[in-house]
Every structure is written in structure tokens, then in C-alpha cells.
Amino acid sequence: MQIGPYITSNNLVLAPMAGVTDRPFRQLCKKLGAGLAVSEMVSSNSLLWGSSKTKRRADHNGEIEPRIVQIVGADPALMAAAARYNVDHGAQIIDINMGCPAKKICNVMAGSALLRDVPLVARILEAVVDAVPVPVTLKIRTGWNKAQRNGVAIARLAEQTGIQAIAVHGRTRSCGFLGECDYDTIAAIKANVRIPVIANGDIDSAEKAKFVLEHTKADGLMIGRAAQGRPWIFGMINEFLKSGVTVSEPSLPEQCAILIEHLENLYGFYGEHTGVRIARKHIAWYSKGQRHSAEFRQNVNRAETVDEQLDLIRSFFSEATGHMAQAA
């Protein structure tokens, strides 16, 4: 898949997720098979650019290229300024968020709320494309609601204004993350534009990935929630798409090693105090479905230091491995 001058190693993309796709997680997913990884969204409000949170989001030190930063907002001039700011700080591709369904985003007419105002969409796309010398991409949903499913029209407009790739979540804003994903609209979008189309929504296995690619004829796949606690899903999908071979989940000791590598990078990025707290949700995702995982998560959430967290993780995965060996 090619976006501007960048040719990806494969057609799998880690979706932008607020509070999740920080630099440590992006690096891990790329290492384990993601061809691209998109940052957490960065506000177009310049008053926030000096905050420690925004500075961390703009930190791409050591990250595998290309570096993609997603920006969110509803004012064309502010969005253009945000694009320039992030390119100046290392972004090599700018992604525009018109897909977020969160109320706090939609209430300020940003994210997927923009899909109700096509003239404003056009002004934002034109402003951002004209503002920066790097490729600009777009993330949308299929529309605001089922009565206003205008994804095809938005995609055509995006192509006309110079957007170089478009990712589509197969639900409307009003659907949130409920109900079945609408892959037919993604297929219609692909049939109506020449730029790369990336299908997103409910891709949680190698078999589902193959089905979505074949059904939509999309150029790539974007995976979000299914990578939480399973960053190896990209490698599993890659192998299945290439060879048709189903790869098993990593063993519990392998999962433990991946988790610890992830957390060590996370602690280094945030520092111990913040890192320990941010780590809790990732540890919960990695341990989900394991024996005694609820009790384990309670203990992890009480841990205050790196050493406490890592000791609990090693003990939990060791016991889980022993239990599986006994069961076998």
C-alpha cells in the first residue's frame, strides 16, 4: 500500500485510539507486524500544544517511519495550524479525524459530527492539504446515522481535495461500537475512489481480516480494539493473508515476555509514577480470560511501583502456565 512517497511493509494499520496508541504501543505493534500505526489524536487547539500530554503525543523519538499524527478539530484555520505544528515536530503523514464518536468530540462539532456538514468538511480538507508538504489522510465513519450515510460522497470529496488515503469504520456515529459492521458501504467507497481505502471495524482474527479484504476489496485493514492486549494479532493476520497458515496465539510465557517489554518501554516513556498507572489498563487487557484474572487485576491496581507490578505479572503468568500444563 502506498501513501504519498511511503510504501508500507504490509497493509495492516494500528488504529488511533485515545489513551492507548502512545509511542510505546505503536512501536510494539510495528515490531509485531503492523505496517503503519497512527498516533492518538492531537487537538487543533493551540492552547494545549504546550501541555505535557500533547508533547508526549508529539514525541516520535526512535519510532519506525512513517510517523503518522492524527489531528482533530472543527476550524479549518486551526486544523491547518495543527498540521503545520505536527509536521514541524516530526510528523510525516497527517491524518484528519472525522470518525471519533465520543460525545465530548462531537459536542464541539468535531470528529464524526463533521459528517453532517459537507461544506465544512471540504474547507477543512482543503486547508490542511494546502498547509503541509506531507501526505494527508482521513478517517471517517459511514455517516452520522443510517438516514445520513454519506460515506461515499465524503470519500469522493476527499479524493478531489487531495487526500491520499481514507480509512472507514463500518458504522455510523449513532451506532457507536454496537451492532454489525457495515462492510457494504466500505465496498461502495472503494468502488468510487482511486485512493487507497482502509477498512476498519470488528477485525479481530485472521479469518475475519481475509473476509473483510475480499468483501470490500479494500487496500488495507485498520485494527483497533482487537490489538489491545493482543499486539501480536498483526503478525497472525499477516501470515494468514500471505500463506493461508493459521498461526497460534503466543504461549503464555511468550505473552508475558511481550507484556513486560511493553511495560518497560512504557515506564521509560512516562516515568514510574505515571507509567504504573497507565500500565494498569494494558495489564488488564493482556490477562483477560485467564484463570483468576479478576483477582490479579485487583492486585495490580493496588500496586504503586514498577517492581510490584512486574513481580505480580511474572507470578500470575507462571501460575497460569503451570495450570495449563497440568490441564494438558
Give yes or no: 256 in active site: no
Between CA 240 and CA 54 the distance in angstroms is 37
- Contacts for 186 with CB less than 8 Å, ≥ 6 apart: 142, 151, 168, 170, 197, 199, 216, 218
Q: Which three cell numbers stand for residue 265?
A: 518501554
* Closest-CA residue to 305 (of 276, 270, 281, 268): 276
Please pick, among 29, 100, 181, 256, the residue that the annotation labels catalytic.
100
Amino acid symbol at 70: Q
* Closest-CA residue to 19 (of 79, 102, 88): 102
3-class DSSP assignment, residue 41: strand
* Closest-CA residue to 41 (of 8, 77, 74): 74
Angle at 48 between CA 46 and CA 51, to 5 degrees: 135
**Which residue numbers are catalytic?**
100
